[in-house]
Amino acid sequence: MPYIPYTLQTLISRHDIDKVVNAASPDASNSRFSLRSSGSPTNSFLPSSPTNLNARFNQIISSSGQRVRIDAVDAWGNHIYLGTSNGHILHFILEDKQHQASGQMPSNAKLENKIELNHKPIERILVIPQVSKAVVLQDSTLFFFSLPFFTPISHQTIAPIKGVSCFTHDIAQDGKIGQDGTVELCIVKRRSMQLYKLGEFLQYKKDIPLQDSAISITRYGKLFCLADVHEYKLISDEPVAIMPLIPTPREPASPASPSQSLLGNSLVPRPVAAVVKPGEFLLVSGSANDQTIGLFVDARGSAIHGTMQWSSYPKSICVEYPYIAALLRNHTIEIHSFTNLQLLQTIDLPDDFEPRGMFFSHGLKVYLDHLAKRLTKRAWVPSAAGPHPPADQLEDDLQLHLKREAIRFSTVPARILVYGAHTVMAQLVMPLLLQINDLIDSHRIEEAMEMTDQARDSMSSTKSIHVERMRTELDYIYQKCGMLLLKETVFEDAFALFSKGDMDPRLAIYFFGDQLGGGVIDPSDPLFLFDDVCALVEQVGFIDDIVNNNVHGADASGTENMRQALLKNAREAAQKYLLTERGKRRDVLGHGQPVGKVIDTALLKLYVMTGNDLLLTRLLKEPNDCDLDACTVTLHEAKKYYFLHLFLESKKQHQGALELWTKMYDGQLKDPAFNEDLDRLKQRLLRSSDLTMPLVLDYTWWLMRHGKLDAVDILIESPFANDMDPNSILTNLEEYDLLATKTYLEYLVLTKKSTEASYHTRLASTYVHELQAEIQQPRSRKELTQTVKKFKTCVRPMEPNRPSPTFVSFLCEKTPSTPLLQIRLRLLRLLQQSSSYEASSLLTLLDQTGPLQIEKAIVYGKLGMHQEALNTLIHELGDFVGAEIFCATNGQSTGSIDFDE
Confidence category of residue 557, pLDDT binned at 50, 70, 90: confident
Indicate whether 33 pLDDT > 80.
Answer: no
Confidence category of residue 283, pLDDT binned at 50, 70, 90: very high
3-state secondary structure 755-800: CCHHHHHHHHHHHHHHHHHHHCCHHHHHHHHHHHHHHHHHCCCCCC
Among 64-68, 212-216, 714-718, 851-855, which stretch is predicted with the lowest mean pLDDT? 64-68
User: Tens digit of pLDDT for each residue in 747-784?
Assistant: 999 999 999 999 999 999 999 999 999 998 889 889 88
Distance set, CA 879 to CA 834, 843, 886 (Å):
22, 20, 10
Q: Are 75 and 148 in contact (CB under 8 A)?
A: no
Averaged pLDDT for residues 693-716:
90
Indicate whether 51 pLDDT > 80.
Answer: no
Report the CATH number at residue 118: 2.130.10.10
The sign one gets for the Cα dihedral 871, 872, 874, 880 is negative
DSSP assignment of 270-281 equals ---EEEEETTEE
Q: Are 85 and 121 in contact (CB under 8 A)?
A: yes
Going by C-alpha positions, the residue among 262, 302, 261 that lies closest to residue 280 is 302
Domain presence at residue 18? no
Predicted confidence at residue 553, as pLDDT, reads 64
Distance set, CA 709 to CA 223, 389, 748 (Å):
79, 63, 18
Please name every residue paired with 320 in a beta bridge, in sequence order, or none if there are none. 323
Predicted confidence at residue 66, as pLDDT, reads 53
Q: Where a domain ends, among 601, 633, 650?
A: 650
DSSP assignment of 814-850 equals -SS--HHHHHHHHHHHHHHH-S-S-HHHHHHHHHTT-
Asked whether the bond before 239 is cis by omega within 30 degrees of 0, the reply is yes
Domain presence at residue 689? no
Q: Are 200 and 144 in contact (CB under 8 A)?
A: no
Averaged pLDDT for residues 19-38:
39
Domain presence at residue 574? yes
Confidence category of residue 588, pLDDT binned at 50, 70, 90: confident
Domain limits for position 565: 375-386+395-413+430-650
Distance set, CA 666 to CA 407, 632, 670, 671, 815 (Å):
66, 21, 9, 12, 46
Distance set, CA 271 to CA 215, 227, 286, 298 (Å):
7, 6, 9, 18
Q: Are 100 and 361 in contact (CB under 8 A)?
A: no
Instruction: Report the distance separating Cα 861 and Cα 708, nearest Å.
Output: 40
How high does pLDDT run on average in the chain?
85
Instruction: Report the distance separating Cα 648 and Cα 656, nearest Å.
Output: 7
Among 48-57, 127-136, 171-180, 468-477, which stretch is predicted with the lowest mean pLDDT? 48-57
Averaged pLDDT for residues 123-129:
95
Confidence category of residue 36, pLDDT binned at 50, 70, 90: very low
Going by C-alpha positions, the residue among 207, 160, 162 that lies closest to residue 186 is 207
Across 83-97, 519-533, 801-815, 834-848, which has the greatest mean pLDDT? 834-848
Q: Are 621 and 590 in contact (CB under 8 A)?
A: no
Q: Are 84 and 70 in contact (CB under 8 A)?
A: yes
Indicate whether 41 pLDDT > 80.
Answer: no
783 and 644 assigned to the same domain: no
Q: Where a domain ends, among 650, 671, 699?
A: 650
Among 54-63, 257-266, 864-873, which stretch is predicted with the lowest mean pLDDT? 54-63
Indicate whether 63 pLDDT > 70.
Answer: no
Domain presence at residue 19? no
Instruction: Report the distance separating Cα 244 and Cα 227, nearest Å.
Output: 10
Indicate whether 278 pLDDT > 80.
Answer: yes
Instruction: Return all residues near 308 (Cβ < 8 A) that are at least 6 apart.
Output: 282, 293, 294, 295, 296, 324, 336, 341
Predicted confidence at residue 31, as pLDDT, reads 32
User: Tens digit of pLDDT for each residue in 597-645?
Assistant: 999 999 999 999 999 999 999 999 888 999 999 999 999 999 999 999 9
DSSP-derived letter for residue 224 is E
Q: How many CA atoms lie within 13 A of 741 on its CB side?
A: 22
The sign one gets for the Cα dihedral 453, 458, 464, 466 is negative
User: Tens digit of pLDDT for each residue in 412-454?
Assistant: 778 899 999 889 999 988 888 888 888 898 888 998 898 888 8
Averaged pLDDT for residues 475-489:
94
Indicate whether 338 pLDDT > 50.
Answer: yes
Predicted confidence at residue 28, as pLDDT, reads 34
Among 29-43, 691-705, 809-823, which stretch is predicted with the lowest mean pLDDT? 29-43
Indicate whether 567 pLDDT > 90.
Answer: yes
Distance set, CA 418 to CA 12, 73, 354 (Å):
11, 9, 11
User: Tens digit of pLDDT for each residue in 224-267?
Assistant: 999 999 999 999 988 889 999 999 988 776 654 444 444 455 77
Instruction: Report the distance separating Cα 374 and Cα 340, nearest Å.
Output: 30
Indicate whether 395 pLDDT > 70.
Answer: no
Burial status of residue 367 (CB atoms within 10 A of its CB: 0-12, 13-18, 19 or more): middle
- Phi, psi (5° rounding) for residue 600? -65, -35
Q: Where a domain ends, among 650, 678, 695?
A: 650
Instruction: Report the distance separating Cα 46 and Cα 27, nearest Å.
Output: 13
Predicted confidence at residue 135, as pLDDT, reads 97
Instruction: Return all residues near 621 (Cβ < 8 A) that are at least 6 apart.
Output: 646, 650
Averaged pLDDT for residues 30-36:
32
Domain presence at residue 312? no
Indicate whether 729 pLDDT > 50.
Answer: yes
- Please count the structural domains in the chain: 3
555 and 409 assigned to the same domain: yes
Instruction: Report the distance separating Cα 444 and Cα 485, nearest Å.
Output: 11
Domain presence at residue 173? yes
User: Tens digit of pLDDT for each residue in 133-165?
Assistant: 999 999 999 999 999 999 999 999 999 999 999
Tell me the three state secondary structure of residue 628. Answer: helix
Domain presence at residue 599? yes
Instruction: Report the distance separating Cα 15 and Cα 423, nearest Å.
Output: 9
Instruction: Report the distance separating Cα 79 and Cα 149, nearest Å.
Output: 9
DSSP assignment of 445-493 equals HHHHHHHHHHHHHT--SS--HHHHHHHHHHHHHHHHHHHHHHHTT-HHH
Domain presence at residue 544? yes
Predicted confidence at residue 65, as pLDDT, reads 45
Predicted confidence at residue 50, as pLDDT, reads 37
